[in-house]
Amino acid sequence: MKRRMGKNGKSESNLKDVVVVAVVDEMEQAREYETLLRLNDIPAIVREQVDPAGNKTGIAILVPEDFLDEAHVVIESQDAYDDFYDFAMDEDEDMDLDADMFDDEI
């Protein structure tokens, strides 16, 4: 599967041979991953996964096999950024900034 340039200047790929790059529980997160991948010129498809009994088991994000490694890097980089941002926000919330902290005790 080769990348080719489409009319809009973005790379395109044959979407016949797709593989799962991630499975999530919520459609909102699946759409965020799809958007993130497409912004990085990686074609992506979102599909609900259903078991043989008809129960929803998750939402899969699929990419062409040629893009799998790149897609993993993009998603993992975004997840690391989100984790860092969440950690930083938790640190700010833990700080108790009352007025006494800034008083000089001279």
Confidence of residue 96 (pLDDT cuts 50, 70, 90): low
Domains of the chain, each with CATH number or no CATH? 15-95 (3.30.70.1530)
| Amino acid letter, residue 38 | R
pTM of the model: 0.62
Q: How far apart are the first and last CA of the chain?
A: 73
Q: What is the largest CA-CA distance in the chain?
A: 74
In sign, the C-alpha dihedral spanning 33, 34, 40, 43 is positive
Q: Which tens digits make up the pLDDT trace of 35-85?
A: 999 999 999 999 999 888 888 889 999 999 999 999 999 999 887 665 555
